[in-house]
Structure 1
């Protein structure tokens, strides 16, 4: 396997892992994120911890996409390549903060929630932790994929490393995702509404399509794949 093909496969598989891990994590975390009294009741701790592990895998896969593709993306534009890597790190960091918040609720339930003398205000503390997770989810998966698409989509479009229709979908979907997130942030739309999902669809299609293309097709021939000076 040639070096560019190996880079493409690693990047594509990492993108697919983000889908395989992030989508099932949402229903697994619902006992905590959708029920304010979880910390006091009989909790589905194993399920929630599994959901946290899935989000942990998602965060690591986010960073892996940028690491895997960097040897090629830097040959197109080092600034854009570093921008993509940095935005992926920020996204992963926000996801990890959300994971810690949710798992902290599980620990509170195990340590304090099941006892008859549970401290007053425990539900309030647990809800505050869930609120932290909600905001990290809104600004992590809600904003950062748009930033990722602007950096990586520009690189792939300029170099012609994949069919240009793919990065175009990402570049079009980026402002739609940001607009949706801003409207949800200011209470103009339910984040789980049909309109919200439709506005998210282009970015999802871009990331899934890119993951599949890189995994099974690889990069198209491009000067970026040939040895030579690396641009600043």
Structure 2
């Protein structure tokens, strides 16, 4: 029981850390993502970009951590679901890191432009726009497309195991497919990811993750459900 309590606390803390790091990191990336002239503007926000990169690396570590920490718990009910959840979380983290590298590359372009004897603004701006576009697509592929299946898997596991209240599991089972479907619509240009519809589609997953995290940190897993899981191996 103590092992399960520690796992619950660690998982909840990782979910909260991931949410905080993703929001803070995106805010710090604003100067690059919102200003196409950043690389020719004298690099006034280099520290913010570096801090944002660090926060998004923490996000990636947290995402991997949830898959690792929950693996031995989920595998007690289904080893294939446990492996699938861990793999999709790893995929999400890998895509996030690609986005981090793309934004840091824009930072490098800004430094090179300032140091160049005869810089060509058009070339630097074109490269910067391409790198920001890479970040935008990773924001779709990782925290949306890859997140959808992992959320559905965890929701299914929570529904079957009853380790947390049923409504949390249902939010995950609904939110996972919804954010995946929304990402597909964004991919085909039906609406923008940062839009009313995109935000509404992401809301159930955010609510699920926060409800799940708070439950795990405050109360942990349901003790009767933990006993049933342990009895499966007896």
TM-score bracket, normalised by the shorter chain, equals over 0.9
Q: Give 3-state SS (helix, strand or coil) of 1:125's partner.
A: helix
Instruction: Compute the displacement of 1:179 (Å).
Output: 2.0
Instruction: Compute the displacement of 1:211 (Å).
Output: 0.8
Q: Give 3-state SS (helix, strand or coil) of 2:144's partner.
A: coil
List runs of 5+ in structure 2 lacking aligned partners: none
List runs of 5+ in structure 1 lacking aligned partners: none
Runs of at least 4 residues of structure 1 off by over 6 A? none
Deviations 1:177-199 (A, max 9, x none): 12211222222212221221111
Q: Distance in 2 between matches of 1:7 and 1:227?
A: 18
Deviations 1:93-119 (A, max 9, x none): 000000000001101111234535114
Q: Distance in 2 between matches of 1:95 and 1:35?
A: 21
Q: Which residue of 1 aligns with 2:14?
A: 14
Q: Going by fraction, where is helix more abundant, 1 or 2?
A: 2
Q: Which residue of 1 aligns with 2:24?
A: 24
Alignment CA distance shift 1:30-1:106 (3 Å): same
The answer to whether structure 1 residue 159 and structure 2 residue 161 are counterparts is yes
Q: Give 3-state SS (helix, strand or coil) of 1:7's partner.
A: helix
Q: Which residue of 2 aligns with 1:183?
A: 185
Q: Distance in 1 between matches of 2:16 and 2:169?
A: 17
Kept in 1, the 8 Å contact 2:161–2:229? The answer is no
TM-score (structure 1 length as normaliser): 0.94
The answer to whether structure 1 residue 136 and structure 2 residue 138 are counterparts is yes
Structure ranking higher on relative contact order (CA contacts 8 Å, 6+ apart): 1
Deviations 1:187-232 (A, max 9, x none): 22122212211111001111111111111111112245426539xx
Q: Distance in 2 between matches of 1:228 and 1:181?
A: 38
Report 1:73-222 matches (<5 A).
73-119=74-120, 121-220=123-222, 221-222=224-225
Superposed CA RMSD in Å reads 1.6
Report 1:33-112 matches (<5 A).
33-43=33-43, 44-112=45-113
Q: Give 3-state SS (helix, strand or coil) of 2:119's partner.
A: coil
